[in-house]
């Protein structure tokens, strides 16, 4: 899982080489442009890079009149290196940034270039085939009124945000692309919280299972959650720095009245990291509980064995003695020998039971 | 438990949307206003938001004459979003703050706005039905002479403080709303100390039980305390920063002669965090003790089994040999064969007992 | 143990309320005044607060002539709230400080007030009844030439220091009350080192016991030491900050030629904290050793059982076969059948022994 | 493994003594010079130090015309102390630097001397004989247009980089020796990522093996990986500081347009350290899983034993009773005694099976 | 071991009291003076403090002519308090420094006094009687041209350094006493590296033993190494700060051209601390391996027992049934009953073997 986040194919290449290092997760390449201002809203789907280029050109020429327009270009699928390169060069993006977009194992980071902002984030998707959580890379470029987002494949992470833009909920339509960048980061962080809750739910159900029938818990499940939490923790921790750096950007890039929102977002990132730490501690607690539970079971099993063996082995021995075929065994020929021996056996039995009762092995 | 502190319903909503994200914990909505000055004291209970609004208006108009009056509005129950929104908009509270009041999974924090202070804290209540500790959110807004507190439900956390105001104990009646804010935070921190003691008591009783009859300790109880302490630790840790930021506020907002009190409060928050760390270490110690205790028991059980089996299995074998039905077994027909064999058996028995005594398995 | 360091009775009280929160540890209230200058020395025991007040008044009036006099007032027993309040108000001590003196669960700290210094420290005493170490609070107030120390009960922690003052050993008689404050802190830190050595001795003896006869070590003893070390660590850690803050005080309060001594003291506090960390690591090491020792024992026990059972169960089976009463069992009627079977049994025995020897279970 | 990184032979020698402290890993001493400018490229192999010296002299004399030339001298094999000393003295390298080149257990570091930069890095090679990963030292000296690299033996770590220079891929041929230094560090860091992936692959395969047949996993393999990761972590951690210091170097030494590349490299070093931390956590997780797996197996084994013994030992006892040879055993002579006893045996069997079913030991 | 580093006898004494707190480790008191300049070298052994005092006086009077002379006075054995006090007072050493020289449990530190430097270091010696590593204190005083070193007993730690001075290897004879101080610290750090290697060797041999015959590893040995590493770690960690402070000293005290050497020494101290951390991690890894190994063994033992018991207990039961003496047991009187039962027994045997094979308990 963690393995996929780094890829050998980059080894030996020149820095800034545009090579997609991931596993192709979709065959489609979706280009969706959401263009909005306080009064207008339009969602356009493009099929080719040329259409998109023409669109961007038309926007640029209409600069004066459409000044308040925000344009959000979302790309699902980054396996087409040529396409990504052409698109980004259109915006004068540095080749190291392009490389980062295509290298899917990046750590979350924010880079402030002279005329654009480059944000790398990690998002999480549930892979329904392998039944585990996969982390993917989501790159955001902000240049003037443009926000470009690159995802490894189509996800539903932006559904709520797009609805808010479409229906004009909140103040998003009245604000610039800095607010849109904030809103995107906010959606991602909210998604982290959802993931973190899913982990909590999983743990709670594992916990319940453990209390109900100890040895049926699939240890492998707990192990899997643990490794996913390790990955999750590693992926979300750098987001704090990203949001913190974002908050520190000054007026021309980020308007002051958004600062409060970013501060709020920062609190959320801290909260989700805190909550992941608690997750880890809870996993340790559950593991210890599991371990102790097994030891308790072994203990109980041993007790049953020891009680059974300690009672019946001596009795069997006594029976064995009087099963011997010696000619001269006087007891055998007495009238009540058999009954005396039976009485002795019952005494031994009672003694052993009392002994184990005193030891509290039998309740 | 931890799960409840975050809630999915917020995912996809616009930041600043006033949505209650918690579980409705009370049907009542109590509005209590405590208004006091050095000489006067009055506690008023309101039933509707309109009554409260009229009251606030009347206060504002009498600004001149009632200048030294402190007004503490306490709201128990925050499930009524409309009510919270109306009330707070009355005080020109930012919509992100309103969102925070209603989002019950916030981390403790302090936010200094241009004309009000917003403090999020977490308090703990014992849920007598589920027999566990629940953390709830308590928000404090201070604006001029007004302190507004929002609790998820009615608690007894402010009883002592209200009595002090009512009876004029200490200097609280002579001071402003900054001191009231301090006193509220102080009550909360004192409450943490009580909770922390309850954890300690629980641990001590678990410890006593463990020493007395090792395997009767309910492992689940220890596990539950552990998870509660994880939650508690996570909730109270940010309080240090809150109080520290509060202490650093300057003159117009917080008067200097209160600083010493806040410093004292800060020491208490550090103390309670320290003590929670010790709690965690004590739980680890108890767990190790428990684990070793189980291992010791298993050991003891194994010893009993091994001693019984090692003694009687060979003896049974000997008896078995002379229970064979071969025609030609000369020993069977000697006069004292039986007694010789009995003697051999006793020798084996004595040898085994001595062997185990030397090994210190039998004391 | 840790529980006693915090007390519920404070909950809900006004900050600055003088309430003794501890457990009354002594019935006596000893008031001892040690007054000394380079040339004079006197130790006076007072019985009532009035005598003490008169004495202080007399000192104040003789200010001119007795300027170089240092006065150390030591109070053993702080359960009498009235007394403490009267005494401290005499020196214009802030009511929060008074509260701290009486609240016995304080964290070590130093507070610089405008005209006095307030130091809270923790000391350790061996409770000979409960056979454990208890931490107690020792408060030091320094105001001008006066040093006032408050202890929960009479201890021997100052014996060495008092002897040095009495016999004029070292330079203490030539120096002011800042040096006395240093000397008191130094005594306390030296005492920590003694405690830390006692822990080391306990561990060493537990270790020796463990090496000699593994399962006789009282696990509970190790557990107790561990909890005491947790408490000890928590209590002494803040002393570093206290001494560090003390060192940073400037000329009028602390004279420069004492700085070197305080620096030395600081090194000692670091050393004792370091040594406590090592203590903790040593306890972990001992616990692991213990755990492994038990596992080894279980292993050894299992080996004995397995060897005995594996050898004799098959043999008993063979004997059992020939103990069957079938009419037609040809072997039974051969002449040497019995001896052949005996030979087979011996072969099985030898084979099993060789098998276990190869497995290195038998040496 | 870690042992080799330090060597006793240095003990007692004067600092700055040029002594090779490692194990001679190659018999060859390869001297390869790669000289390139935007338009020219040449790779020259030298056999003797004299040829190399003559070459360097000839370069120095042609200073004017060949100003834009970058010269990269790579040395494979550092066991020849005389050679290293002669070569470096040629460049006025401080004798402590020379000592560092020859002391193969150095920590990664960067040292800025007045006229050259000295970088120590650690690289990793798979030793195909001992089947483990060995870390070796790679020293880089940059002085003006010259880059000199010293490796313990020939590796393929620079193959990609040399190809890029040769074929003029990227901008490397257009840039100075500062970029070459960056490119070398980039190659090394990329190599770390490859190693880190190999560890991940190993862990994944151990994990798969563990899930498939628990007790066949070679515990020693996991242990070996763990120790290698400890070594790896220790070796790569200081690289962050190295790259960070490199980034902070100012204009004349490192040109500004390279800064972005170094920043990118810095992100990579952080990523690889992060990923090593996750590796460690994954090893812990796997160990816990392994441990729990063993406990589960033991549990299962015990169950089988306990069930078998608990069922058949009592039955055998019953059979033993009626195998006794008492004259007076009335049951033996009844007509259906045998069948009654058989029925009783079957009842006991069924009872035991039901008992274990209720205990969920039998599914 | 750690216990010896602190001593009760100091408790209650005045700070600055010259009392030797250690255990007398040697009966001899060696006074060796090494006096050298670029051209001269002389080693003088003194027997009495008076001879030494006369020598120092003679040096002082010849100040002019012998200005470039460095004088290194090495004292082996510090149990003679009078001697140490007389010697140091000769150099105007502060009494707290004298106390430190005699208090053998000091933490490594550097103290810059107005006219001398006081360095406390810890060195390690192998105690061949108790077969463990002991840490001892080595104090260095530098005043002008004089270096005075105090060791608890004669060691070979300075042999290499003395040889270098004697034979004029390196630049030591050309430099001042600041370089000598550096060289002494360098010798000590080099010695740490040797110790750290010895620990590594011990661990490697324990590891090899563990892989070869798991249960023969003496757990106590590993435990001993672990405690020694705890002590070692604690002793060497403060050396980093010491060397770092030394590096920061300015021109008149430490000449600038030595800075590079001190920097190099600093790197070594970091390296040895790093390597000790790895040691600790390796010990943990070995402990886990050991623990798992024992669990594996127990598992294997249990398997043998379970297989043997599960096969033969049922068979013995069958034999027991037909060993009963009922009159009416029809099977006994059939012609082939015995052989049918034998066949059934073989079937049960085969079934059990197949069952265990399927469970992979038998390979």
pLDDT beneath 50, residues of chain E: 1-8
C301 part of contact set with chain E, CB < 8 Å: no
A208 part of contact set with chain B, CB < 8 Å: no
pLDDT for A170: 81
- State whether B320 and C319 contact (CB < 8 Å): yes
| Percentage above 90 pLDDT, chain B | 38
Is 50 exceeded by the pLDDT of residue A5?
A: no
Ranking A287-296, B9-18, B139-148, D337-346 by mean pLDDT, the lowest is B9-18
Residues in chain A closer than 8 A to D299 (CB atoms): 215, 294, 297-298, 301
Distance from CA of C275 to the nearest CA of E (A): 8
E331 part of contact set with chain D, CB < 8 Å: no
The two structure tokens encoding residue B27: 């049907």
Angle at E288 between CA E285 and CA E292, to 5 degrees: 140
The two structure tokens encoding residue A195: 């993931």
pLDDT digits (tens, 9 = 90+) for D33-80: 999 988 889 999 998 888 888 888 888 776 555 567 899 999 998 888
How does residue B270 score in pLDDT terms, banded at 50, 70 and 90?
very high
Q: Are C318 and C341 in contact (CB under 8 A)?
A: yes
pLDDT for E1: 38
- Rounded CA-CA distance E143/E177 in Å is 9
pLDDT for D63: 58
pLDDT for C350: 94
Pairing of strands E132-143, E117-127: antiparallel
Distance from CA of A252 to the nearest CA of D (A): 23
- State whether E313 and C313 contact (CB < 8 Å): yes
Q: What is the pTM of this model?
A: 0.83
Per-residue pLDDT, averaged over D256-282, amounts to: 90
Superfamily of domain E300-358: Magnesium transport protein CorA, transmembrane region (1.20.58.340)
**Would you list the DSSP string of E26-93?**
-S--EEEEEEE-SS-EEEEEESSHHHHHHHHHHHHHTTTTTTT-EEEEEEE----HHHHHHHHHTTT-
How many CB atoms are located within 10 Å of the residue C332 CB?
20
Query: CA B187 → CA B180, C10, C101, distances in Å?
Result: 10, 10, 20
How does residue D156 score in pLDDT terms, banded at 50, 70 and 90?
confident
pLDDT digits (tens, 9 = 90+) for C144-170: 889 999 998 888 889 889 999 998 888
- State whether D299 and A215 contact (CB < 8 Å): yes
pLDDT for D62: 65
The closest alpha carbon to B101, from B22, B194, B174, belongs to B22
- Rounded CA-CA distance A217/A199 in Å is 16
Of E2, E13, E290, the CB nearest to C160: E13
Residues in chain D closer than 8 A to A102 (CB atoms): none
pLDDT for D86: 87
How does residue B330 score in pLDDT terms, banded at 50, 70 and 90?
confident
**Would you list the DSSP string of C103-139?**
-TTPPPEEEE-SS-EEEEEEEEEEETTTTEEEEEEEE
For the beta sheet containing C70-76, the strands, ordered from the edge strand earlier in sequence to the opposite edge, are C41-46, C30-36, C70-76, C146-151, C132-143, C117-127, C109-112
Identify the residue among B301, B310, B326 best suited for mutation to test binding to A, counting A beta carbons within 10 A and taking the highest. B301
Query: What CATH code is assigned to B298-358?
Result: 1.20.58.340
Name residues 62-121 of chain E within 8 A of C (Cβ): 94, 96, 100, 105-107, 109, 111
Distance from CA of E147 to the nearest CA of C (A): 22
- State whether A2 and D281 contact (CB < 8 Å): no
Q: At what angle do helices B259-321 and C259-321 cross, to 10 degrees?
A: 20
Indicate the average pLDDT of chain D. Answer: 86
- Rounded CA-CA distance C35/C40 in Å is 8
Distance from CA of D26 to the nearest CA of E (A): 24
Q: Report the SS3 class of residue A101.
A: helix
For the beta sheet containing A117-127, the strands, ordered from the edge strand earlier in sequence to the opposite edge, are A41-46, A30-36, A70-76, A146-151, A132-143, A117-127, A109-112
Residues in chain A closer than 8 A to B338 (CB atoms): 324, 326, 328-329
- State whether B264 and C227 contact (CB < 8 Å): no
What is the complex's ipTM, to 2 decimals? 0.79
Pairing of strands B30-36, A146-151: unpaired
Distance from CA of A105 to the nearest CA of B (A): 26
pLDDT for D15: 76
pLDDT for D8: 43
pLDDT for B187: 92
- State whether D190 and A17 contact (CB < 8 Å): no
Distance from CA of E296 to the nearest CA of D (A): 7
Residue of chain D whose alpha carbon sits nearest to that of E320: D319
Name residues 272-291 of chain D within 8 A of E (Cβ): 287, 290-291
pLDDT for A214: 55
E210 part of contact set with chain D, CB < 8 Å: no
Query: What CATH code is assigned to E2-292?
Result: 3.30.460.20
Distance from CA of B83 to the nearest CA of C (A): 30
pLDDT for B351: 94
- State whether E10 and C190 contact (CB < 8 Å): yes
Of B170, B190, B329, the CB nearest to C10: B190
Residues in chain C closer than 8 A to E319 (CB atoms): 317, 320-321, 323-324
- State whether E329 and D338 contact (CB < 8 Å): yes
What's the gap between Cα E303 and its chain centre? 42
- State whether E320 and D324 contact (CB < 8 Å): no
- State whether C281 and E230 contact (CB < 8 Å): yes
How does residue D165 score in pLDDT terms, banded at 50, 70 and 90?
very high
pLDDT beneath 50, residues of chain C: 1-8
pLDDT for B63: 58
pLDDT digits (tens, 9 = 90+) for A245-267: 998 888 778 888 888 899 989 99
C330 part of contact set with chain B, CB < 8 Å: no
The closest alpha carbon to B226, from B345, B132, B92, belongs to B132
Residues in chain E closer than 8 A to D5 (CB atoms): 275
pLDDT digits (tens, 9 = 90+) for C54-78: 888 888 776 555 567 899 999 998 8
D294 part of contact set with chain A, CB < 8 Å: no
Is 80 exceeded by the pLDDT of residue B162?
A: yes
Can you tell me which residue has the tokens 């559904």?
A: A159
| Percentage above 90 pLDDT, chain D | 38
Task: Provide the strand spans (E) within chain B.
Answer: 30-36, 41-46, 70-76, 109-112, 117-127, 132-143, 146-151
Per-residue pLDDT, averaged over A129-133, amounts to: 73
**Would you list the DSSP string of C156-203?**
STTHHHHHHHHHT-TTGGGS-HHHHHHHHHHHHHHHHHHHHHHHHHHH
- State whether D326 and A338 contact (CB < 8 Å): yes
Provide the residue ranges of all domains of chain E, joining segments of one domain with +: 2-292, 300-358
Residue of chain A whose alpha carbon sits nearest to that of D169: A14
CA dihedral C338, C339, C344, C345 (to 10 degrees): 70
Identify the residue among D94, D97, D102, D301 best suited for mutation to test binding to E, counting E beta carbons within 10 A and taking the highest. D301
Residues in chain B closer than 8 A to C324 (CB atoms): 325
**Would you list the DSSP string of E274-295?**
HHHHHHHHHHHHHHHHHHHHHH
Indicate the average pLDDT of chain B. Answer: 86
Q: Are A52 and A75 in contact (CB under 8 A)?
A: no
- State whether B15 and A264 contact (CB < 8 Å): yes
Distance from CA of B223 to the nearest CA of A (A): 7
- Rounded CA-CA distance B349/B354 in Å is 9
pLDDT for E5: 40
Distance from CA of A361 to the nearest CA of D (A): 16
pLDDT digits (tens, 9 = 90+) for E263-295: 989 999 999 999 999 999 999 998 888 888 888
- State whether D281 and A96 contact (CB < 8 Å): no
Per-residue pLDDT, averaged over A337-351, amounts to: 92
pLDDT for D135: 85
- State whether D201 and A3 contact (CB < 8 Å): yes
Q: Are E294 and E214 in contact (CB under 8 A)?
A: yes
pLDDT digits (tens, 9 = 90+) for E345-361: 999 999 999 999 998 88
* Phi, psi angle pair for A199, to nearest 5°: -60, -45
Distance from CA of B86 to the nearest CA of C (A): 32
Please give the interface size between A and D, counted as residue pairs whose CB atoms are below 8 Å apart. Answer: 173
- State whether D328 and A341 contact (CB < 8 Å): no
- Rounded CA-CA distance B201/B205 in Å is 6
Name residues 224-253 of chain C within 8 A of B (Cβ): 226-227, 230-231, 234
Ranking A198-202, B60-64, D90-94 by mean pLDDT, the lowest is B60-64
Q: Report the SS3 class of residue E215.
A: helix
Contacts of B161 (CB under 8 A, 6+ apart): B183, B184, B187, C12
Residues in chain A closer than 8 A to B17 (CB atoms): 169-170
Residues in chain B closer than 8 A to C290 (CB atoms): 292
D218 part of contact set with chain E, CB < 8 Å: no
């Amino acid at each position: 899982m963690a393995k996929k986040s780094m890829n050998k194919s980059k080894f030996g290449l020149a820095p800034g080489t545009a090579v997609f290092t991931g596993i192709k997760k979709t065959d489609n390449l979706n280009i969706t442009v959401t263009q909005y201002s306080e009064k207008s809203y339009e969602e356009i789907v493009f099929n080719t890079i040329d259409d998109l280029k023409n669109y961007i050109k038309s926007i640029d020429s209409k600069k004066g009149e459409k000044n308040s327009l925000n344009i959000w270009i979302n790309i699902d699928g980054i396996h087409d290196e040529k396409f990504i390169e052409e698109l980004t060069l259109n915006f004068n993006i540095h080749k190291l940034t392009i490389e980062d977009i295509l290298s899917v194992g990046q750590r979350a980071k924010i880079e402030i270039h002279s005329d654009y902002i480059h944000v790398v984030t990690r998002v999480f998707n549930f892979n329904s085939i392998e039944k585990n959580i996969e982390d993917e890379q989501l790159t955001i470029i902000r240049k003037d009124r443009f926000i470009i987002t690159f995802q490894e494949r189509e996800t539903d992470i932006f559904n709520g945000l797009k609805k808010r833009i479409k229906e004009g909920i909140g103040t998003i339509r009245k604000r610039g692309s800095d607010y849109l960048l904030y809103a995107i980061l906010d959606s991602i962080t909210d998604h982290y919280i959802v993931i973190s809750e899913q982990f909590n739910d999983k743990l709670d159900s594992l916990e319940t299972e453990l209390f109900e029938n100890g040895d049926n818990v699939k240890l492998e499940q707990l192990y899997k959650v643990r490794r996913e939490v390790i990955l999750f923790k590693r992926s979300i921790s750098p987001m704090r720095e990203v949001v913190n750096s974002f908050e520190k950007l000054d007026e021309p890039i980020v308007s002051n009245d958004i600062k409060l929102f970013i501060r709020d977002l920062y609190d959320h990132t801290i909260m989700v990291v805190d909550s992941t730490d608690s997750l880890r501690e809870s996993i340790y607690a559950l593991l210890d509980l599991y371990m102790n539970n097994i030891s308790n079971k072994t203990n109980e099993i041993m007790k049953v064995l020891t009680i059974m063996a300690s009672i019946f082995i001596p009795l069997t021995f006594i029976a064995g003695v009087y099963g011997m075929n010696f000619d001269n065994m006087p007891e055998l020929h007495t009238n009540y020998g058999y009954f005396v021996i039976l009485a002795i056996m019952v005494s031994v039995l009672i003694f052993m039971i009392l002994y184990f009762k005193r030891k509290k092995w039998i309740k």
